[in-house]
Amino acid sequence: MKKMTLILILLFASILTTACANKAEDKTTVANDKEVFYTGGYFNLHEDVESLENLANLVVKGKVLGTTVEWRDPAIEPDETDDEYSNPGGEIDHTKLIFTVHKVKVDHSYKGDIEKGDIIEVKQIGGEIGNTIMIDEDVSYLEKDKEYILFLETLDDSPANLLNPFQGSYEYENGKIISNPNNTITIKLETLEKLE
């Protein structure tokens, strides 16, 4: 169902982009005749740091070493279960999307099976490959050489996901934790250290 919603959103964005192509200042023209897709998703906003901590299976502080952009298939094979939510049945959509994948060197692990010095991959939807740009206006991309506190969901055979675009990452600069402007949750290192 989530895949179908994402595909419908992408289809609508494609139609909207095409319909607006004749306007002089539309985003497609500004992008130098590149094909632009707008995407968006549904995600849970959390009320407090405890709900973030409970949902994340990995919480780390780390520095972004580098970034790549690649086509990836976000589909997850269903569990072998009779639960309709986990395995709703039907065809799995293997449409590839553009993801920005960051290599992060872990400086401190607050939760999860990871050690200081380990390098993990974290993905965010969107980016640019060739003549195609995929944009999610909710995403603030991690930046090279910056440090972050990350609340992550890990998956087998895939880079980790931020819990959501607003509350999954906090910039860490000069001992201060800076949250996304759309995030009402503030965190302190003392709170994270209690997870260990």
Q: Do the domain assignments include residue 157?
A: yes
Average pLDDT on 128-157 reads 93
pLDDT tens, position by position, 20-73: 443 333 444 345 788 998 887 777 788 888 889 999 999 999 999 999 999 988
Which residues have C-beta within 8 Å of that of residue 35, sequence separation ≥ 6?
Answer: 17, 28, 131, 132, 133
- Output the domain CATH number for residue 147: 2.40.50.120
Q: Within a domain: residue 126?
A: yes
Check pLDDT > 60 for residue 142: yes
164-176: average pLDDT:
93
Q: Within 10 Å of residue 169's Cβ, how many Cβ atoms?
A: 26
Q: Which residues span the domain enclosing 155?
A: 2-75+95-193
- Classify residue 83: in a domain, yes or no: no
Q: Note the pLDDT of residue 79.
A: 58
Within-domain flag for 32:
yes
At 115, which amino acid appears?
A: E
Mean pLDDT of 114-120: 96
Question: Model-level pTM?
Answer: 0.75
C-alpha dihedral, 164 to 194 to 64 to 41, nearest 10°:
0
Number of structural domains, the chain?
A: 1
Residue 43 covered by a domain = yes
> 134-158: string of b/e by CB count within 10 Å (b at 16+)?
bbbebbbebeeeebbbbbbebeeeb
129/74: higher pLDDT: 129
Mean pLDDT of 96-124: 95
Residue 33 belongs to a domain: yes
Q: How far apart are CA 186 and CA 196, in angstroms?
A: 19
Distance CA 154, CA 112 (A): 10
Strands in 132-135's sheet, in edge-to-edge order, are: 35-38, 132-135, 127-129
What single-letter DSSP state applies at residue 171?
A: E
* Residue 35 · residue 27 · CB < 8 Å: no
Q: Is residue 82 part of a domain?
A: no
CA 8/CA 101 separation, integer angstroms: 24
Euclidean distance between CA atoms 108 and 18, whole angstroms: 46
Please indicate, yes or no, if residue 80 is contained in any of the structural domains. no
